[in-house]
Structure formats: C-alpha cells, structure tokens
Amino acid sequence: MARVEYNWNVEYKKDKRLKEMKDACHQIFMRLKEVEASYEKAAPPVKTETISERSKKMPVTVDLESSASNTDSDGRITFVNPMDEMSEYENESDRPGGSHVAVESSDQEEPNDTPCFVCGIDDDDDESMICELCNNVCHTYCAGYFDVPESDYYCAPCIKKRYAAILDTFIAEDVSKLHEWILHAGTCPVYTSDPSLPCSDAHCTFMKSFLRCMSWLLFNQELRGTPLADKLARLLGYHAARCTETTYCSVPLCNDANRRKTVKPHIKPIDLDK
C-alpha cells in the first residue's frame, strides 16, 4: 500500500471556506472605502475664522455705569450679582435658613459610625450592640454572642466596674445576707427554664461567675488564706449547716458536707426490676 503524504499548503489553498472568507473581507473593505470617498466629496469645506475676525463681526457694548458689570485689568468682562452687595448689610437672622435646616437633617440621618471597641472596625450594623451605660459599640462575635440579645447589653469594661463594686459589697457584707445571694444563684429559676436568658437579679450573674472562677483558682496556693477565700469558705459552711435539702443541693460543696448522694433531681434512677 502506497504512503500518502499530507501537504498543509496544498490543502490550505484548496479549502473553499477560506477562499470565501477572503472574498467576503475584500468586498467589505471595498465598500468601506467607497463610503468614505463619497462622504469626503459631499462634505462642504469649513471656513475657519480667527478670533480677531469674530470680534470684528460681533462688537460688544458695555455700559460702564451699570453696577452689574465689571472689567478686569486684562480686559475680560465679569458680571456681578447686585444682590451679593446687598447681602453685606443683612443680619444673620434675616437670611434664609434653608441650607442650615438641610445640614441638620443630614446630620440626623447619618448612621452611627462608631467602630467596635474590640476590633476597631465600623461594619455589620445588624450585628452590633450598644452598651447601656457607656454607649460603647461591640460586635456580637467580638463579645462571644451568637446573636444580638433581647435584653440590655453591657460591655466588658462596664461589667468589670459593676463586678468590682459588687465584690466590695461581698467582702463587707454579713454572711447571713450573702446566704440569700448564693441560694438564688444555685436555684435560679431563669437559668432552670432557659439558660440563655439573663437573670434580673443584679447579684445572680456575679455569684455564678464568682463561684465558677473560685472553683478554678482555689487550686492556686497563693489564693488560699486570702480574705476573699476565707469569706467564701465561711459562706459555704454557713449554708451547709443550715441546708434542709434531703436528696440534692445545688450550692457547691453542700452535698459533700452533708454526705448526700450527688444525684441531680431531674435524673431518675434505673429500676432494675423491670
């Protein structure tokens, strides 16, 4: 069987499609040249005029006695509004206040451009919270919230100040009075129904956070023997001696002190007979 060689140049010249495309392009270029030539023949010649010729054809007359016109040193003519000269003799109260009112309305419509005090970025207004005490703005994700809370929001610096004042009261208050704090924190009805809701009691959140922190910090030897640790120990002992619960108490260390079985009330024991 004979070997057939394929020549690209020969096949390119024999291709009818390429030849038709070449002829079509040639016809388009020829038509464009014809249109351009006919446009150049039809367009009349434009006569150019110099500036001096225009000034000769259109003379300008100026009333030098009129207060509405003025001539500069270089010969140019400027027109002055006569009402501008009268405005110098007007009082501030006589002038219209439309622009002033517009500025005030624009200021009121301006959105809050205060940045988040944690990240310093001004964005995500839908995810921003405003502190009720100091008006600090904070993003929900910067404060550790999943969503904007329905209740009042207090920023971390304001909470720190409030907790510092409550801590001073805790150290100075009598143990019998503090017993009400720890009882409420241990049996908070709001936390039992919905843990995400804040309690209306001002001392409830403090006591919950305080007991949680002290349970971690008591492993530190330096904290033991301090007035704060001694006050908490006396408070827990005061409650354990007066607790009337028979099965379970939610106050820390009360079940161990009274030798109860640490079984929470909502956990039911398994009946092995069934």
Gap between the Cα atoms of 231 and 141, Å rounded? 36
Q: DSSP 3-state assignment of 89?
A: helix
Alpha-carbon distance values, 177 to 15, 60, 121, 214, 242 (Å): 105, 99, 44, 20, 14
**DSSP letter, residue 259:** T
181: its two tokens = 């704090």
> Each residue of 139-154: pLDDT tens digit?
988 888 888 887 788 8
Judged against a pLDDT cut of 50, whether residue 108 lies above it is answered with no
> Each residue of 61-98: pLDDT tens digit?
545 444 444 555 555 555 555 555 555 545 555 555 54
In order of their start, the domains of the chain are: 112-154 (3.30.40.10), 168-257 (1.20.1020.10)
State pTM to two decimals: 0.44
